[in-house]
Amino acid sequence: MLDLSAKSGVIENFLTHDEMLELRKHFLTTTPTHSSLNDTVYGIDKKNIRHYYWFQKTLFAKLQNIFRQDLKLAWAMYCLFTKSFDIHNDNNVNLPEDNAESYVVCLIPFAVNNDPKQCNKASTLIFTKEENPNYAEDHKNYLSNNPIDLVKKFKVKKIHNWNSGDLIWWTSEMDHAGSHFTDKLQKKECWSIHTYCLLYTSDAADE
């Protein structure tokens, strides 16, 4: 099991380019929906059984071997982003089972501006909830889409630079945000995978 004490990290070269092309091909057969920012996403969860079981047997099995065998999939998305979300977390959001708790979020960069080699123009930032003494610089360099008063309240813990095929992970309670879009960064393509685990009661443990 991967040590999660750092709260976030990177597994380099998690997928090859050919593996991502195959993964992307499959996700594009799902019905597209839109994020709250009106960007296009292609999602997989328990509601589309065929895709869900395919994902469980392929990529998700690889994640279980890294994190824990009882890891469960809340949802996975192939995302075509042109706008960044404000600082937030997805802890215990839309879990498909009762008695469950969010575990880790995984992000796999694919391309920036339709080019995997431009992924280094993007990053994912992880925060702690405390006063940010560098808020003005962080707002200018990474987070200009966020209200500056929000950036003041979150200190950057880690900046994970994108590289196509890497896996960026963070524990679900951590606040995070993607770097802002600029004239040189107008589109991000990635997979976002949200996971959870069941909470075991004392009665279940005794059985």
In sequence order, the β-bridge partners of residue 115 are: 112
> CA 34, CA 88: separation in Å to the nearest integer?
18
Give pLDDT, residue 201. 53
Please check whether residue 85 is in contact with residue 143, taking contact to mean a CB–CB distance below 8 angstroms.
Answer: no
Please check whether residue 180 is in contact with residue 142, taking contact to mean a CB–CB distance below 8 angstroms.
Answer: yes
Give pLDDT, residue 91. 92
Give the pLDDT confidence of 69-103 residue by residue, as tens digits.
Answer: 999 999 999 999 999 999 999 999 889 898 999 99
- Rounded to 5°, the CA angle 29-35-39 comes to 75
> CA 191, CA 207: separation in Å to the nearest integer?
38
The distance from CA 33 to its chain's CA centroid, rounded to whole angstroms, is: 17
3-state class (DSSP) for residue 22: helix
Give pLDDT, residue 206. 42
Question: How many Cβ atoms are within 10 Å of 137's Cβ, its own excluded?
Answer: 13
The overall average pLDDT reported for the chain is 95
Q: How many residues in total does the chain contain?
A: 207
Burial class, 49, CB count within 10 angstroms (exposed 0-12 / middle 13-18 / buried 19+): exposed
Give pLDDT, residue 1. 87
> CA 83, CA 101: separation in Å to the nearest integer?
28
Residues in the chain with pLDDT < 50? 202-207
Burial class, 1, CB count within 10 angstroms (exposed 0-12 / middle 13-18 / buried 19+): exposed
Please check whether residue 166 is in contact with residue 12, taking contact to mean a CB–CB distance below 8 angstroms.
Answer: yes
